[in-house]
Amino acid sequence: MKIEIQDILSKWKLYTLVNDNGMKVSFLDFGGIITNISVPDQTNTIENVVLGFKNYADYEKNSNYFGAIIGRVAGRIQDASFTIQNQTFLLEANEGDHHLHGGSGGYHQVIWRASPFQTDDTAGVKLTHKSLGGEGGYPGTIEVAVTYTLTNSNELILDYDGKSDETTVLTMTNHSYFNLSGNLAATIHNHHVTMESNEFVELDTRLIPTGNKINVSNTPFDFRTERKLGDGINSISAQNKVANSGYDHYFIFNQNKQQSIRVKEETSGRVMKIKTTQPGVVMYTANTLVEGLDLSEGKSRPYLGVCFETQASPASLHHAGFPPVILKAHELYEKQTVFSFGIER
């Protein structure tokens, strides 16, 4: 195991974790942005399986949130406002009338304090940040930490921690776009996904949750048995069409099942498994990714990656019955998501 540190643009640092199998994970202290995850395929060819910019300077205007830590609240907050304890808080409306991914000054735009660590079997970096009460309109001064740990079992462990001096809202995630074909060899149409979820959240034409949950049975949203992402991308289903032909929906995990996701890309043989303590996941198939951005392995285009944003649901701020994002004063926020990589011939 080893950790490499590189200065970037005279203001950021790039941390690279390397395990004994040659798996490599690189990320910036700016936004905690994961720029590269390199893992072997079935021929033992090691390639990058996430989208990232060719030029680091482009991360300053990272409107696609490539690889970034998202917070305080991942996802869309309806009407850029919420009420807790009979007090209404107004946030930045940075997507139409709504608030997206913590706003323009969210966690994807701050330089985190980094503390590397290493053991015989792991290498990692703990990233910490303090945001003051009132920043972005959010109540409470909150101290958060996100720890990236790479193991010799080809696991990337993301641990999220937080504590606020006032009752507030918090649900963090990582916004990496995965493409298991390696070095962007193909779109994600033929990625096979399995996920234990009986329900997903209905969206309106603004991509805001309506408050309705839809049973996945007999829909392109049923991933309880293996399904290709292309099924939804090419579907005429109203909910796939609302999301600009694809998926951008919150799936609620079945609570009596292990909360996990499995993704396979047959050509490379790569398999990614995701285990999480979060209650659900937003799966986004890069439906609106613009064409022509300079990425590390080529030009961007729609459907070039898939995000698995494990999180609670900001819809809970306006509708009952959704996994909550409220964090009470002095209560500890502790969540974990583990991405593990292997091959299947």
Q: Are 327 and 314 in contact (CB under 8 A)?
A: no
For 60, phi and psi rounded to 5 degrees? -65, -30
Q: Are 325 and 169 in contact (CB under 8 A)?
A: yes
Cis status of the peptide bond prior to 262, with omega within 30 of 0 = no
Work out the burial of residue 236: count CB atoms within 10 Å of its CB; fewer than 13 is exposed, 13-18 middle, 19 or more buried.
Answer: exposed
First to last CA, the chain: 27
Q: Dig out the tokens for 339 from the structure.
A: 């991405």
| Angstrom distance (rounded) from CA 203 to CA 238 | 10
Let me know if 175 is a catalytic residue: yes
Instruction: Look at residue 280 and give its three-state secondary structure.
Output: strand
The full 3-state SS of 28-55, as one line of letters, equals: ECECCCEEEEEEECCCCCEEECECCECC
Length of the chain as a residue count = 345
| Angstrom distance (rounded) from CA 132 to CA 71 | 13
User: Rounded to a whole number, what is the largest CA-CA distance in the chain?
Assistant: 59
Q: Are 309 and 78 in contact (CB under 8 A)?
A: no
Question: Residue 296's Cα: distance from chain center in Å?
Answer: 19
**Among residues 101, 175, 191, 249, which one is catalytic?**
175
Let me know if 309 is a catalytic residue: yes
| Angstrom distance (rounded) from CA 284 to CA 303 | 9
Q: Are 278 and 52 in contact (CB under 8 A)?
A: no
**Among residues 199, 202, 265, 309, which one is catalytic?**
309
Q: Which residues are catalytic?
A: 175, 309
